[in-house]
Amino acid sequence: MIVYDTRFNANEWFVIVGFCIGYGMLFLLPRRFSYKITLLFIICGIYSGFFYDHSLSVEPKDFYDVNDTSLYQPWDFLSYLMYGPLSYLFFYIWDCVRFKFRFAPLYIFAWGLVAVAFEKFAIVCHVFHYKNGYRLAYSFPIYLLTYSIWSALYYYFKVRQANAKA
């Protein structure tokens, strides 16, 4: 076990503030989706964070640790919940702006940059501790893949919704 910190400091504040701002935003934004779809879009972020962290931060790869120790802690779970509002915002903005599908790569690329900036700030706050040669640049293609999958999911539900109205 690696212990990076034993005090309540920047990484816990990052998680608390991110959680409060994110879920506060969810309640303040006008509703655009049904409750089921809203929940699905939130779960996309939570699941993606959980999936990638448990794919990349465990043996045999073990590219990084999250928060204060190399062991799973309650703060790690809260940090996964933080990703929910970010994924919802991805879908929400897309729906508000009504991007055409041909602009999807540009939107995905822009969100990839936003995600890398968010992760960089998380690194500065000691939420992530890279090891075994991992670098921030490696996260960018993962974000592009994730947002591409989310875009396909969004269009699936839009087409399904359009067919239901027809």
pLDDT of residue 153 exceeding 70: yes
Q: Which amino acid is at 55?
A: S
166 pLDDT tier (thresholds 50, 70, 90): low
71 pLDDT tier (thresholds 50, 70, 90): confident
Instruction: State the Cα–Cα distance between residues 97 and 86, nearest whole angstrom.
Output: 17
**Per-residue pLDDT tens over the stretch 119-141:** 999 999 999 999 999 999 999 99
**Per-residue pLDDT tens over the stretch 31-69:** 999 999 999 999 999 999 999 988 998 888 899 999 988
Report the interhelical angle of 104-124 vs 139-165 (nearest 10°).
130
Cα–Cα nearest to 138, from 55, 44, 39: 55
pLDDT at 85: 97
φ and ψ of 26, to 5 deg: -55, -40
pLDDT of residue 93 exceeding 90: yes
